[in-house]
Structure 1
Amino acid sequence: MTIGVMATDDLPEAFHVTTDEQLRAVSNLTRHRIMAVLRFEPATITQIAERIGLAKGSSSYHVRLLERAGLVKVVRTRKVRGVTERYYAMAARSIVLPDPGEGGPDVLMRHAVADLEASPADGERHVGMAHLRLTDEQFAELGARLQALAKEYRELSDPSLPDTSLVFALFHPASSKQTEGDAK
């Protein structure tokens, strides 16, 4: 599972979440939203707080946790009226989350659903679901095409435009036999 972030030449391609501290950092919805702010361009604590509607102190707390976990870093500083202002950016172009394991929560999907529910109801949305019957080869091909399409549009992203989120999940649902067995 991968979270796409800003395309910057000097960033590593991927940051693999491997520790409990890193997993806790990305599992929080507020920190997920902070990383979304930083996905295209660096920002200060004040800018982050304004973008996500959070108090500056809370924003600072969450950014410090992300920084301690290695997910964000200071990329530049500047003096403003005698105070050093820090600009934070993502530590890599993408964040790779571990497989949640059987029965584990899928953090990225939970955040995506929360973001969808929080989006303006009167805004334009394209939400759908399709039940398919595919061969293993078709399943793999569709997964690759979805990844390629997301990458294509991520490369076209312009930081001056409003944020847009694309979420997709291609999976084999639990069979009715598995579901019945879990209920007993």
Structure 2
Amino acid sequence: MPADDVPETFHVTTDEQLRAVSNLARHRIMSVLRFEPATITQIATRVGLAKGSSSYHVRLLERAGLVKVVRTRKVRGVTERYYAMAARSIVLPDPGEGGPDLLMRHAVADLEAAPREGERHVGMAHLRLTEEQFAELGARLEALADEYRKLSDPALPDVSLVFALFRPTSQVQAEGDAK
């Protein structure tokens, strides 16, 4: 399937889809498929899973509509399937107050699994912003990510960008909730 035919976003709306993306192995499989199609064998090698496990996870993702077969070919009498993402990006529902943010949990797990000797840029800033500044910063971060997403070249090594802009629970509010 030509890259131009891939929808921009896929909105996760069902429990089956949410369960499919909530697993770290499946998250990593989707990361493998984000730039180019791959076979079960290629996925297994890149993710570090057995072929049987990779096949199981890909079937769940396919059943949920998150990945699909984009081409097949015969190899020594066996049909080899190439899988790709169903859309360029996946949009998860808001987890709601106190709910786990799956994207952040997976991002932290990926960061922890990344080679220590590799270059990293990890930081955290505590800011005090007006509502307008908060909204502007969020829009600028999204625009910057979109700008670099368009520059992304599948021939280059993978890079992950994760950001979260949020208002933490205030200490006074957290202490009041605990009583």
1:73 partner letter: K
Is residue 108 from structure 1 mapped to residue 103 from structure 2 by the alignment? yes
Report deviation, 1:12.
Answer: 1.4
Corresponding residue to 1:23 among 18, 24, 39: 18
Question: Higher relative contact order by CA 8 Å / sep ≥ 6: 1 or 2?
Answer: 1
* CA RMSD after TM alignment: 1.0
CA distance, structure 1, for counterparts of residue 48 and residue 19 of structure 2: 22
Corresponding residue to 1:42 among 34, 37, 44: 37
CA distance, structure 1, for counterparts of residue 176 and residue 159 of structure 2: 39
Is residue 120 from structure 1 mapped to residue 115 from structure 2 by the alignment? yes
Corresponding residue to 2:164 among 169, 177, 180: 169
Same amino acid, percent of matched pairs: 87
Corresponding residue to 1:77 among 58, 64, 72: 72
The residue matched to 1:31 in structure 2 has which SS? helix
CA distance, structure 2, for counterparts of residue 60 and residue 18 of structure 1: 24
Structure 1 segments (4+ residues) deviating >4 Å: none
Q: Number of matched residues?
A: 178
CA deviation profile, 1:21-49 (whole Å, cap 9, x unmatched): 00000000000000000000000000000
Corresponding residue to 1:146 among 137, 141, 146: 141
Report deviation, 1:181.
Answer: 2.3
What stretches of structure 2 of length at least 5 have no aligned partner? none
CA distance, structure 1, for counterparts of residue 113 and residue 158 of structure 2: 14
1:26 partner letter: V
TM-score by length of 2: 0.97
